[in-house]
A = this chain, B = another copy of it.
Amino acid sequence: MARALVLGAGGFIGTHLCAALRRTGDEVVAFGHGESPPWAQDDPGVAWVRGDFAYTALAVEAARGCDAVFHLIGSRSPALSDSDPVADLAGTVVATVRFLEALRAAPPRRFVFVSSGGTVYGPTDRLPIPEDAPTEPIGAYGINKLTIEKYVALHHRRHGLDACVLRVANPFGEHQVCQRQQGVVAAFIDAAVHGRPISVMGDGSSVRDYVYVGDVAEAMVRAARSPALAQRVLNVGSGRGCSLNEVAAAVERVSGRPLERIHAPARASDVPAVVLDIARAREALDWRPETPWEAALERTYRWALAQKGPA
Contacts and interface: CB of A to CB of B under 8 A. Distances in A.
Interface of A: 85-86, 89-90, 93-94, 97-98, 101, 132, 134-140, 143, 146-147, 150-151, 153-154, 157-158, 268-269
Given A85-B151, A157-B268, A158-B269, 20 more contacts: A85-B97, A85-B101, A86-B94, A86-B97, A86-B101, A89-B94, A90-B94, A93-B93, A93-B147, A135-B135, A136-B150, A136-B153, A137-B154, A138-B154, A138-B157, A140-B151, A140-B154, A143-B150, A143-B151, A146-B147
Contacts of A94: 86, 89-90, 94
Contacts of A89: 93-94, 97
A269 B155 CA distance: 12
Nearest to A94: B89
A146 B150 contact: yes
Contacts of A85: 97, 101, 151
A170 to B, nearest CB: 21
A143 B138 contact: no
Nearest first, the 9 A-B pairs at minimum CB distance are A143-B150, A147-B147, A86-B98, A158-B268, A85-B97, A89-B94, A86-B97, A138-B157, A89-B97
A138 B149 CA distance: 11
A147 B149 CA distance: 11
Contacts of A98: 86
